[in-house]
Structure 1
Amino acid sequence: MRRLFSCLLLLTLACATAPATPAASSSATAAASVPALPHMEPPASPPPGAKWVRRAERLMDEKAPDQALPLYQQAWDAGDRRENIAYGAACAAALLGRKGEAMTWLERSVELGFRDVEWMKQDTDLTSVHAEQAFTALMARIPTLPLPMKNEGSHPELIRLVDEDQKDRRGHNAPSGPEEWKQVAERDRQRRQRVRELLDAGAAKTGADFFAAALVFQHGDTLEDFARARELAAEAARKGHPVGLWLTAATWDRWLMHAGQPQRFGTQYQLDQATKQMRLYTVDPSVTDSERERWGFPPLAEIPQSM
């Protein structure tokens, strides 16, 4: 379940969709009346530990936490202080039975902004620390903690709206059928409307503000929503948000998929009705691995074909 956490934001950003995904033909028809999305250069550099973290995640998938943990440490020592790195290291250490080390990493993840108590309590990678007094104390302390550094100075309503967006899609709240997805879609529409109003009023100031707005818009249902999401994510990246670059690429891919065109980076998955698996959406073969690397993505051959 470590991979589920590291993709928790990321899957929810790009992969998690309602049971039915818009057909390419209807999306392409919609795209005909919309100008092509302009090319964009990377708005920021990839995080310094991106390559090591990707290797660590593959090793975790291969049930090799002993090899993954040093790579998480290497990324951390290089200055890559994303919350998913600390959480991944916590999971690796917990799987190895190194409880004290696992708690140190978990506390770092919480300090950086991961505060999903429900998820941590159900994550089987953390089973070895679930009964530890330090774990219980940390879970109890989370509601009392100040805003994480990444959200300092941010607009509280934008942060609340993106938190609601995420909670609608994970854990016990995740929709399980068409009617529940319909309810989420209506809440998404209301959130987008409120974010539009806040943006028009100039409420977005920080990288976290623009990231929150981008995340809400990328759960839209039109090409205009996805284009707006890319614009907002790029601004988040320019302002130093650690996941802004990823979201810029993911929203670009999302626009392309809904326009019936191949994606560039390999962030989007669609439900295969025959196998009921999420399968990698078609990737543009003209986009080189070196271009993906500029955006912090692995070579195409290393991108999973299904989820």
Structure 2
Amino acid sequence: MASPIHHNENGTSRRDFLKTTIVSASAVAFGFTMKKKKAPRLSFSTLGCPKWTLEQVIQTASVNGYQGVEFRGLEGELFLPKRPEFSSAVSDTVTKFAAKDIKICGLGSSAALHHADAATRAKNLDEGKQFIDLAHKLSCPYVRIFPNNLPKDQDKQQTLNLITEGLLELARHAKESNVTVLLETHGDLVYKDDLVQVMKNAEHPNVGLIWDIFNMWSVTGETPATVFPALKKYIRHTHIKDAIKNGDKFDYVFIGKGIVPLTEAIGALNSSGYQGFYSFEWEKMWHPEIAEPELAFPDYPKSMKKYFS
């Protein structure tokens, strides 16, 4: 005959109490506690809303439950210091974002580090430094730089060395500002081994990586399971987008509607304890034919839920 279940004055049975106690004790013994998993931090890039005002950007982020915004231009101007919101009125911009508890989580510069020509190189490095100074004023942690297509008339190793040297120069500029310079997986610099070489040689507290999952996978075919273990120690930020194959090119679609291996990539990030932003990069600036931001930005937080269920 089964023993009766005894309840205390709070309605908890002795059996349930013992079970909870045993599980809790086991958790402590093995060095972990039962904590609720943090919700992912979502942001969007203003590349997706090239005609919007600052107020529209903030309002959309707030209404749709975003925690951050990544600025890649404003109202069509990519060089942010030209805008009053990021120069004469920068303190007002900081106040407006703080009022909505939204983080400016990244600034996307156009600084490209693959150029060998001295004048061109100096101009790009100067832009990177101006963006670092602006990020410091905004309490923004990251500035994005990139290479595009590596010069065909230049030795590849020489180009990788230039990118490495540029990263370190910008990192030294950023050292006192708590800003980290992030190399985006972009253009021809998307192969795992090349990225690992650059990141190892540019190892610095103020250097990191933006993992643009689509940019890499669509060119190299390397799966997230292959590239993530090699790159995870450098990844500070991510760009999320989805696409379908259309002949020899890709067409962007809403998250979860395409063939990009996002489940594998986001699963790897989440399992690793990644705490950075999952930033929606809807490339409306470069592809005006894709859906309007009024449709794309509200969809993203809803579509991302299934990757964290």
Normalized per residue, the structure richer in strand is 2
TM-score scaled by structure 2? 0.34
TM-score scaled by structure 1? 0.34
Structure with the greater alpha carbon radius of gyration? 2
Higher RCO by CA contacts (8 Å cutoff, separation 6 or greater) = 1
Normalized per residue, the structure richer in helix is 1
